[in-house]
Amino acid sequence: MHPVHLLTRLLASSAALALAVPVQPDMAPSAKLVARDSPFADLDLPADFWGAMDNYCRNGVSSKRRSVPRHLSQRGSPPAGYLYVSPGTSVRDYESTTTYGAYTDALVTCMGVVIVGDTTDGDATSKHMAHFYADANALDALWGTVASEVSAQGLANLRGWISLADRAAVPSDLDTGLMLDVENKMKDLVAGLTGQPATVRYHNMFDASEGVEDVGSMQYNNADKSVLIDGVVVEFGT
């Protein structure tokens, strides 16, 4: 075979082999995108853990028989005129809105998050609240919505508050170590979005299930962007 033809065949074979080399999963752009979009699912926690967390989040825990869930038919009353944030949803208010605010309660194993920021744009939404179900996919979906909404507003001095279940007193079928993993992930996400650590408080999940006023609750006020957790004003950074 002519040397030129042989060289051409060798080069073609080398190119074909190079194209056939599979892309490593951790190098694929789509894999990195999925990882960013599913921070809670990526914790890869057991399904039975998420099942127990979500069950208590939706149904509550009886303070009389702590291992028995009960339907959360009783809830505290939001202040008159305030938006009620249902589980699995979020709300936001414009900077120019200076009356009322938003309220949620009966968090139990759910997580409540409030994020506020400063702006001179009256049409920007500068106050945000979310009530997160304790389920990996639900957490990921709602966090994606909240993070996108907050990021789009061009806010300065972002501050975040989180209300979490008190791990010192939980039903026996909840793994407090895994609860801490979820808790730390939310803290990391809020800090990453706002640029500073969130202010955190812990609510009594048993009292919340009994419908006691202002236990397992969060509220923000439009007038001054103040935040209440369990009925008490919580200054940012405390």
In tens digits, the chain (238 residues) has pLDDT values of 544 444 444 444 444 333 333 333 333 333 333 335 899 999 999 999 999 999 988 887 754 434 434 445 445 678 899 999 999 999 999 999 999 999 999 899 999 999 999 999 999 999 999 999 999 999 999 999 999 999 999 999 999 999 999 999 888 899 999 999 999 999 999 999 999 999 999 998 876 655 565 678 999 999 999 999 999 999 999 9
Coil/strand/helix, residue 215? coil
Contact residues for 222 (Cβ-Cβ < 8 A; gap 6+): 93, 97, 98, 99, 100, 101, 127
DSSP character string of 83-134: EE--TT-EEEEETT--S-EEEE---TTSEEEEEEEE-S-TTSEEEEEEEE-S
Domain-by-domain residue ranges, the chain?
A: 32-233
Q: Which pTM was predicted? A: 0.80
Residue type present at position 118? D
